[in-house]
Chains A and B, each alone.
Chain A
Amino acid sequence: MDPIIVASKVTKTYASGFQALKGVDLTIRRGEIFALLGPNGAGKTTLIGVVCGIVNPTSGTVVADGHDVIRDYRAARAKIGLVPQELSTDTFETVWGTVSFSRGLFGKPEDAAYVEKVLRDLSLWEKRHDKIMTLSGGMKRRVLIAKALSHEPRILFLDEPTAGVDVELRRDMWKMVRSLRETGVTVILTTHYIEEAEEMADRIGVINKGEIVLVEEKAALMQKLGKKQLTLVLQRPLASLPASLSPYALELSSDKSRLVFTFQSEAERAQIAGLLRALAELGIDFRDLQTSESSLEEIFVSLVRSDA
């Protein structure tokens, strides 16, 4: 594993005395898409602020691509692009002007061709001469993304990029994030939409009350969580499971009145038809059936709750 960001024991206590980060250890891998989930006030924005130089950490260190973000801030920040959660944009500047400004601010010489590409990718090219205040909220969000990409960062932070964004723009963003990953850019995004994390992320981290409570490969997490169950409520209780049903992952409930079939893969799902047929042949009737599946959302909520 090749880490690109390593946060060690990062704490942040705001002037109000509120501790927003309580010793965060987090490693982001080079080239991955990392989704940081957590309820409102969990500390996501604060953590991003510490990495990007907007929030002074109370203690702890963050190293970005080998550079300490405080001691060696010039080298570290040159590699990082940030799309903030708030829609803070200039008003009278044009789209082209504000994006060029960002590029200069991050120490890059002018490159009209590159800025054009960024604007085209974000469907902002037609709007390049428009003043930012004349744009819609979704357009402003794109402008912020264009600004963050203007200096060709290797690490991109997207703090709730799809909040208040329509379906189409959200798809566009997902596409953009994937194509960025193809060019080797590491993307860290926060979101409240679980399906977004499911769709996009390679790994998922959950933060709650200033602590990282889970970091896992999405695939492994989904495996763990993607468990589905079919419950059959029987007409008459069964004394025991008939032997002919042994090929199925069936369980008889302790009160003998329910059969629970647990399946994970598509192959196992395909067994359902056979199972029902077998039950009919055996004359086992049922009066109700229900299926349940645990989603990322469920696990997420349970994680956050159990921690409370």
Chain B
Amino acid sequence: MNWYAIRAIYSFEMARTFRTLFQSILSPVISTSLYFIVFGSAIGSRMAEIDGVHYAAFIVPGLTMLSLLNESISNASFGIYMPRFSGTIYEVLSAPISWVEIVLGYVGAAASKSILLGSIILVTARLFVSYEVAHPLWMITFLVLTSVTFSLFGFIIGLWADGFEKLQLVPMLIVTPLTFLGGSFYSLKMLPPIWQKVTLFNPVVYLVSGFRWSFFGVSDVSVELSAAMTFVFMVLCLATARWLIRTGYRLKS
């Protein structure tokens, strides 16, 4: 294992994050605040409690997940796409490192940023609504697991995309719909029975449900299932990233 290489990539990527810290932290914080003002205060005051949780508080975990997913994907995909685009990837390809170092460096940095961001959003949310975290350890587990998994997913998109449009395409066409339909703003119990079943094919449902359970102790699906599904998705992403790097798909000619 080449630890110096992991550190080099990680620090390089974190430096990029801190160079753009203002916009990379500010924009999600602003958009989350807007969600809270609109859905939490304005509309939420007219909504009934869900599972005994006030609506404004109910949407906190879902909204955090929404930002976490978007930011993980965009940050990680950009992180690996840029060197491919500019040609500086030649150095990574010619370095004495394997897929393990590459993934740990790039995905580790993207996930770190997401975790930082998720924490900031949770703190911001606390300014608008009061909530308590029932299971802090689980909360952190889901936060980390989700950040890592979706940074991996974004990394794969960044490896695969061969243009800036494609970089935006997957998040826009797949991830955003899945997050909005993944129970960020509602409980699955509010859906017609048939849609309750269909929705279970949406991986985001498990993330939101598990994350929400760690706050309020209520969930749509069991927390073990949530954790297991997230884990399975992470392993799938890991295997894909490994394959992409080892074969040099769209990296080497």
Contacts and interface: CB of A to CB of B under 8 A. Distances in A.
B235 to A, nearest CB: 25
Interface in A50-91: 52-56, 73-78, 80, 82, 84, 86, 88-91
A90 B4 CA distance: 19
Instruction: Pick from A82, A91, A105, A108 the residue with the most CB of B within 10 Å.
Output: A105
Contacts of B130: none
Interface string B1-33: 010110111011001100100000000000000
Contact of B94 (A54, A75, A90): A54
Contacts of B98: 74
Contacts of A184: none
A199 to B, nearest CB: 27
Given A92-B19, A107-B4, A102 B94 contact: no
Contact of B8 (A15, A74, A78, A104): A104
Contacts of B19: 92
A174 interface: no
A76 B94 CA distance: 10
A105 B90 contact: no
B15 A88 contact: no
Nearest to A89: B88
A101 interface: yes
A97 interface: yes
A14 interface: yes
B95 A106 contact: yes
Nearest to B20: A92
A53 B245 CA distance: 12
Interface residues of A, number: 36
Given A92-B16, A92-B19, A102 B91 contact: yes
A86 B90 CA distance: 10
26 contacts: A49-B253, A52-B93, A53-B94, A53-B252, A54-B94, A74-B96, A76-B96, A77-B95, A77-B96, A80-B94, A82-B91, A82-B94, A84-B90, A88-B88, A90-B86, A92-B16, A97-B12, A100-B8, A102-B8, A103-B8, A105-B4, A105-B5, A105-B9, A105-B91, A106-B4, A106-B5
Interface of B: 2, 4-5, 7-9, 11-12, 15-16, 19, 86-88, 90-98, 248, 252-253
Given A108-B4, A109-B4, 19 more contacts: A14-B253, A54-B93, A55-B252, A73-B96, A75-B96, A76-B96, A77-B95, A84-B90, A86-B87, A88-B88, A89-B86, A89-B88, A91-B86, A92-B19, A93-B15, A105-B8, A105-B92, A105-B95, A105-B97
Q: Which 3 A-B pairs have the closest CB atoms?
A: A104-B8, A88-B87, A77-B96
